[in-house]
Amino acid sequence: MNAVNYPLLMRIDSPGDLRLLSPKLLEQVASELRSYLIDTVSQNGGHFAAGLGAVELAVALHYVYQTPHDRLLWDVGHQAYPHKVLTGRRERLSGIKLRGGLAPFPARYESEYDAFGVGHSSTSLSAALGMAIAAARTATARRIVAVIGDGAMSAGIAFEALNHIGSMDLDILVVLNDNDMSISEATGAFSNYLARLLSGERETARVRTLFDDMGLNYAGPVDGHDVGGLVATLKNLRETRGPQLLHVVTTKGKGYGPAEADPITWHGPGPFDARTGVAIKENSAGPTYTQVFAQSLIDCAQRDERVVAITPAMREGSGLVEFSRRFPLRYFDVGIAEQHALTVAAGMACDGLKPVVAIYSTFLQRAYDQLIHDVALQNLPVVFAIDRAGLVGGDGATHQGSFDLTYQRCIPNLVIMAPADENECRQMLHTALCCDRPAAVRYPRGTGPGVPIESHLSIYSIGKAELRRAGRGTAILAFGSMVSACQALVEAHDMTLVNMRFVKPLDEEIVLTLAANHDALVTVEENAIAGGAGSAINEVLLAAGVQMPVLNCGIPDRFIEHGARNDCLRDAGLDREGLERRITRWCQAGARSARSRPPRTLHVIGRQISS
């Protein structure tokens, strides 16, 4: 760090250093911190606009509260870069999200100042209340503060927590960081309510707010960029007993012109020229799966006006921007409300619509009961376009889509598809919309192998795999993104390759035929090995009484940390080289042990083959 540009920030290695400064200097600290964020994030990209809006808040909160003894929780954690800088991680900020670098969000293993690990939104109030209860139970004198955005406040869990907090007489401060934005524009009646609170309605009379009525003492609205004002207000609140809510008004992207003007683009930019705000583009290699899904959905919607799209606050990430423009009345951003997204889709499906819920694999975890109870149990034709299924990279362990095959596979009625390429993604979406039952298409982050995309829409036969290559000895049964990852390997070693296409229903016929014709089977998927698609193959073999060597390749039984997507794949052993090494070694070891065993006969339902 350059001491000339950041004379004060240079001296802050912990919040203790910050607290030694006179209050008059805090504005300068905030200004240096903001410049430092702009400089640093421009190098490698990262979460940006939300952090710029939370600079003064971070400075004031660490100045007033005795962190880490007092607990400071950042909801989602994408706005926590200023907090990381002030808590001893200044010099490491440039490596955030990279392999071995700082975690993308607050993480308890990384710092004692990160009171609660985050990444998924709207958990801060529940966790803060838990800490307040623990402090009360252990008679620990401690203040607990949760900072939550207006977007994150739209989630059910945040309201569940408010409901609980308001009924408890505990010292807890909720700082509502209201910038009137989620990743895209804030939506919903609660957001309208906050706007009304800010509109001056409250200033004319002492109007009781929703929060007061729920048992939290409402303070504000206050200017979230006036660090002196914030410090004064927080000092007061620190001495006030009971649940409090401080309504703070901020500007997303504050202090960086392009980000203030377009906070959506600047929510999480890649590297950019800090002076001009121009993105430093990497060469793009064809359309991403998200883009293919986006165009295919538009094509399907044009053919069938019953098709509607639902997103839980992820319009940009899920590729629904163009859809929302073309079909504004058939597009629903429900806020950060995954559970509601699924049940509202179920209701639509009951009465003749064809809802497509576009959702990230990691966020679908939030709506598991709705998936089972509201959609699958009633066999309703809801389509799930599950993006970021597999390893996502920089957003790390909280966002890896490692589990969706595992948690979906056991649900009756559900069709689960995994496209091997972009064209299959398109056709599977169409197949899902035509199959009249709940159906999921799960595709990874980024680009596919780059196959031509057919403009027509076809329907795959449900539960049928595709033989890609007939070889000898070992057959690889690959799912989704792993089909192309195995192509070179099967050519080099004359193995069979099957693109399984369907995780459910599984093509049992092809599994048993391959078992009969090969010495060994290898399953490969970009999902947890535990309970994943490979487990489904094992179950088929066991049920049929087939005994043969089977290797399951997939994500190992641990959380995969952040890094570039390729780093994460390598870490999980799912990059091309890793797969080749693993599979060929396993085959060689198997061949050695087979030579040392007497020949035996395998029984495969109705057939006999020798091994």
Ligand X SMILES: Cc1ncc(C[n+]2csc(CCOP(=O)(O)OP(=O)(O)O)c2C)c(N)n1
Which residues of this chain interact with ligand X, rule CB under 6 A? 50, 53, 76, 78-79, 120-121, 149-152, 179, 181-183, 252, 313, 336, 363, 366
What is the chain's Cα-based Rg?
27
DSSP of 347-404, one letter per residue?
A: HHHHTT-EEEEEEEHHHHGGGHHIIIIIIITTT---EEEEES-B--STTGGGT-B-SH
Nearer to ligand X, 312 or 448 (CB): 312
Choose between 165 and 313: whose C-beta lies nearer to ligand X.
313
Which residue, among 358, 326, 324, 328, has the nearest Cα to 341 in the 3D structure?
A: 358
Cα-based distances in Å from 496 to 396, 518, 523: 34, 9, 12
Residues in the chain: 611
Q: Smallest distance from the beta carbon of 181 to ligand X, in angstroms?
A: 4
Distance of CA 112 to the CA centre of its chain: 24
Residues 6+ apart with CB under 8 A from 213: none
Closer to ligand X at the Cβ: 81 or 460?
A: 81
- Taking the least distance from each CB to ligand X, the nearer of 175 and 416 is 175
Strands 601-604 vs 607-610: parallel, antiparallel or unpaired = antiparallel
Q: Can you say how many angstroms the Cα of residue 337 is from the centroid of all Cα atoms in its chain?
A: 13
108 or 603: CB nearest ligand X? 108
Long-range contacts from 106-115, C-beta under 8 angstroms, 24+ separation: 106/74, 106/77, 106/80, 111/84, 111/87, 112/68, 113/15, 113/67, 113/68, 113/72, 113/83, 113/87, 113/88, 114/80, 114/87, 115/68, 115/71, 115/72, 115/73
Work out how close the CB of 480 gets to ligand X at its nearest, in angstroms, rounded to a whole number.
Answer: 23
Least Cβ distance, residue 120 to ligand X (angstroms): 4
Distance between start and end Cα atoms, the chain: 65
Q: Which residues are catalytic?
A: 252, 338, 366
Report the nearest approach of ligand X to the CB of residue 128 (Å). Answer: 15
Task: Report, in Å, the least distance between residue 122 CB and ligand X.
Answer: 6
Compare residues 165 and 341 and give the one whose CB is closer to ligand X: 341
CA-CA distances (angstroms) from residue 153 to 60, 106, 263, 398, 606? 22, 19, 19, 19, 60
Cα 277 to Cα 42: distance, rounded to the nearest angstrom: 9
Instruction: For the CB of residue 282, give the shortest distance to ligand X in the complex, in Å.
Output: 23
Token pair, residue 97, equals 């999200």
- Identify the DSSP state of 85: I
For 134, residues 6+ apart whose C-beta sits below 8 A from its C-beta are 140
Smallest distance, ligand X to C-beta of residue 182, A: 4
- 397 CA to centre of own chain: 9
CB of 443 to ligand X, least distance (A): 18
What angle (nearest 5°) sits at the alpha carbon of residue 48, between those of residues 26 and 238?
Answer: 40
Nearer to ligand X, 148 or 348 (CB): 148
Strand partners, 502: 417
Beta strands in 457-599 (DSSP E): 466-469, 474-478, 496-499, 502-504, 520-528, 550-555
Closest to ligand X by CB, 178 or 567? 178
Specify the residue, 55 or 462, whose C-beta has the smaller distance to ligand X: 55
Within 10 Å of residue 271's Cβ, how many Cβ atoms? 15
Residue pair 250/276 in contact (Cβ under 8 Å)? The answer is no
How far is it, in rounded angstroms, from Cα 112 to Cα 507?
Answer: 50
Closest contact distance (angstroms) between CB of 179 and ligand X is 5
Please state the closest distance from residue 378 (CB atom) to ligand X, in A.
24
Positive or negative, the CA dihedral 453, 458, 464, 470 is negative
Q: What is the rounded distance in angstroms from the CA atom of residue 385 to the CA atom of residue 309?
A: 10
Q: Is 595 exposed, middle or buried (0-12, 13-18, 19+ CB in 10 A)?
A: exposed
Which of 183/382 has CB closer to ligand X?
A: 183
Q: What are phi and psi of 208, to 5 degrees?
A: -75, 135
